Amino acid sequence: MSSLQVIRDQDGIIELRGAFNRTTVTRDWSERKKHVLQAVKSNNALVIDMTEVVKVDSATLATMIELTGFADAEQISLSFKNVPDSLRKLADISDATSLLPLE
């Protein structure tokens, strides 16, 4: 069974590792989300690095849009880097690329 790991460093970078899909959003994200939101609130800028993310789907995209909205509401700069190609394609197909701060 795959899981989602959230590793936070002191420089405002959060590294996601593992599966970030419907299963892990339901099972793992609700617990890990609070760490991400704390990082958002404690930094003026936050980068979410998805280099180690191996599985994505529409739940990933929805969660990224939710985080973007939260960061916008808190007036915090947020960006996603090293986004998997499959997720970029999904965002393109869904006409959601303009909603996401992708590097």
Q: Report pLDDT for 21.
A: 92
pLDDT score of 40 = 66
Q: How many helices (H) and strands (E) does the chain have?
A: 4, 4
Residue 12, pLDDT score: 73
Amino acid letter for position 95:
D
CATH no. for 4-85: 3.30.750.24
- Please tell me the predicted confidence (pLDDT) of residue 15: 92
Which residues does the chain have with pLDDT short of 70?
1, 30-31, 35, 39-41, 43
pLDDT at 8: 81
Nearest to 65 by CA among 91, 45, 42, 34: 91
